Structure 1
Amino acid sequence: MGVEVDDAAVKAYLKVADSAAPPAAVAQDAPVRRPRRKKTDWVEEAKIAAAACDSVEALKAAIVAFEGSPLKSASENTVVYDGTPGASLMVIGEGPGAEEDRKGLPFVGKAGQLLDKMLAAIHRDRTENAFITNVNYWRPPANRNPEAEELAVCRPFVDRMVELVAPKVIIAAGGVPAKSLLDSADGIMRLRGTEHVFKT
């Protein structure tokens, strides 16, 4: 008892099945390819913003509006400068500490009190004939030294500030600003008391 199989019919069926077009693939949405965002060159953006400024106040506004430093989001204020634009003496410090960040002005803590006494000893005052700024405008966490990338993004603004104020003398107040301004790896002891020509 079996079922008779027509071999010829089976072979014909298989031949048709093998030659038939495969079933159409179910169309699937192709994955959406989003264009890669170009990484912003913040140093270049800082150069463009700084170059567009024709006054110290315009430069301050550009620095305050600048979003290229990761330190900005954790800072209370952008600390740009204090003093008299056009002064013949410019003091450039490292950057704001906790007190400076709170008040939005450079050198207002203990170091600022000492600086004011030193300026007074040479007949200078930040309200009359001295200009004070920093190589970094935002407070680093835990008052650590600013990192190279953080200084690099501020450098175009620092250079433009020097060009606009046009001081006759710049005092680098500390190792970080001295190394940054002079592009030097020398320590503060080697740099202390030396004179250099600053070029922007």
Structure 2
Amino acid sequence: MKEVLGVSEVFLGERYEVRDKRSLLEAIRRQVFQCRKCPLYRTKTNYVFGDGNPDAGLMLVGEAPGRDEDLQGIPFVGRAGKLLTELLEEAGLDREKDVYIANVLKCRPPGNRDPKPDEIAACSPYLDAQIRIIKPRVLGALGRYSGHFLSGQNLPLSSLRGRVLQSIYGIKLVVTYHPAAILRNPNLIDRSRKDFELMLKLLRE
């Protein structure tokens, strides 16, 4: 029987209650907190595992923790996180009830630089386990690195967003801008709003 981070594939293929999801996620979280697979563990303040409702229909995946996330150990709590919460609310989604949020990387890269391929390769099994435990109906990729990982397509973000894709998990995927990119270029916000509206539409189908 093949295992994914110590959790059997057979069990991951089953349906189970929210309390079981929480227990499985906690088992993965403990492994993350002991991770030494890449040098980022030496420079991080806190591991940033994930946050939200494990039974949510929508799972959002960012790229890597920033400074505020590194300090608090929670994804999307800084300015970008505030904007993300606003975008969700505008689309009619409650961040705590309707969404689970994680990142491709669980540790902050120094200086908020882009994730490196070897870091993504080392950390992605944790995200893989989170997705397979949560089993969302819709995946939302925030930024090109999560878009590349979830779609399996190494295309520009402009070619990935604005439409429904099939993720590598067989789950419907919408790729949009990272909130930090919108803060740098506010002209992107209207397109991002449309992407979140598309996520909501898929959830309602």
Same fold (TM over 0.5): yes
Q: Report the AA paired with residue 45 of structure 2.
A: E
Instruction: State whether residues 179 and 186 of structure 1, in contact with CA within 8 Å, keep that contact through their aligned partners in structure 2.
Output: yes
1:121 to 68, 90, 109: 90
Aligned to 2:5: 49
Q: 5+ unaligned residues in a row in structure 2: which ranges?
A: 13-22, 170-205
Aligned to 1:105: 74
Matched, 1:95 2:95: no
2:138 to 166, 169, 182: 169
Q: Report the AA paired with residue 162 of structure 1.
A: I
2:40 to 55, 71, 96: 71
CA distance in 1, matches of 2:29, 2:163: 30
Instruction: State whether residues 57 and 98 of structure 2, in contact with CA within 8 Å, keep that contact through their aligned partners in structure 1.
Output: yes
Percent identity over the alignment? Answer: 34
Secondary structure of 1:132 counterpart: strand
Cα distance change on mapping 1:97 and 1:50 into 2, 3 Å = farther
2:157 to 188, 194, 199: 188
Query: Aligned-pair distance for 1:50?
Result: 5.5
Query: Aligned-pair distance for 1:124?
Result: 1.7
RMSD: 1.7
How many correspondences in the alignment?
154
CA distance in 2, matches of 1:49, 1:105: 22
Q: Report the AA paired with residue 146 of structure 1.
A: P
The structure where strand makes up a greater share of residues is 2
Q: TM-score, normalised by structure 1?
A: 0.72
- Cα displacement string for residues 27-86 of structure 1 (whole angstroms, at most 9, x for unaligned residues): xxxxxxxxxxxxxxxxxxxx8526469711111111111211210110000001011111
Quick check: which has more Rg, 1 or 2? 1
The structure where helix makes up a greater share of residues is 2
Query: Aligned-pair distance for 1:197?
Result: 2.0
Could you tell which deviates more after superposition, 125-134 or 137-146?
125-134
Secondary structure of 1:56 counterpart: helix
Q: TM-score, normalised by structure 2?
A: 0.70
CA distance in 2, matches of 1:154, 1:112: 22
CA distance in 2, matches of 1:90, 1:50: 22
